[in-house]
């Protein structure tokens, strides 16, 4: 989806996804890995625990 940038009002691309990641994977490392393959994009991650 496209949203307005907070200060400039320019169009920004925004996407949301739910993915499964093993508990032993560090979110900072995952974010860095994703951003290195997505030039110019910022990745934000949140961990949510799923009850079994």
Q: What is the pLDDT of residue 37?
A: 86
The answer for 40, left when phi > 0, alpha when psi is -120 to 50, beta otherwise, is: left
Residues 6+ apart with CB under 8 A from 27: 21, 45, 47
8: confidence class by pLDDT, cuts 50, 70, 90: very high
pLDDT digits (tens, 9 = 90+) for 19-43: 888 889 999 999 899 889 888 888 8
Q: What is the pLDDT of residue 39?
A: 81
């Amino acid at each position: 989806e496209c949203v307005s940038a907070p200060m400039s009002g320019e169009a920004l691309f925004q996407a949301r996804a739910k993915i499964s990641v093993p508990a032993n994977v560090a979110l900072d490392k995952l974010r860095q890995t994703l951003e290195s393959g997505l030039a110019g994009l910022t990745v934000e991650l949140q961990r949510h625990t799923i009850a079994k």
